[in-house]
Amino acid sequence: MSKIKGAIVVDVDRCKGCSLCVVACPEGVIALAQKNVNVHGYRYAEPIHPDDCIGCAICGMVCPDGCISVYKKRMEV
């Protein structure tokens, strides 16, 4: 039996820290960086609980700048 998991990749330099992805994520996987900023001075989105990602890709759909890619991977259980 297998289970689908997700993997989130954020283009940190393009992220403006709008936090729409943070609000949209049903699993609480994403948060804005607390101490770091990108090259433009924005706190960027980052996966803080990557193992909880279900691969729904809602974060990528709501991102106005297209900074988030979500990949699905099959995990054997």
pLDDT in the model for residue 33: 96
Q: What is the pTM of this model?
A: 0.87
Q: How far is CA 40 from CA 14, 20, 21, 56, 62, in A?
A: 8, 18, 19, 29, 21
pLDDT at 56 over 70: yes
Output the six-digit token pair for 62: 């709501």
**Residue range 42-49: average pLDDT?**
96
Question: CA 7 to CA 25: how far, in whole Å?
Answer: 13
Please, which pLDDT band fits residue 44 given cuts at 50, 70 and 90?
Answer: very high
pLDDT in the model for residue 1: 64
pLDDT at 76 over 80: no
pLDDT at 62 over 80: yes
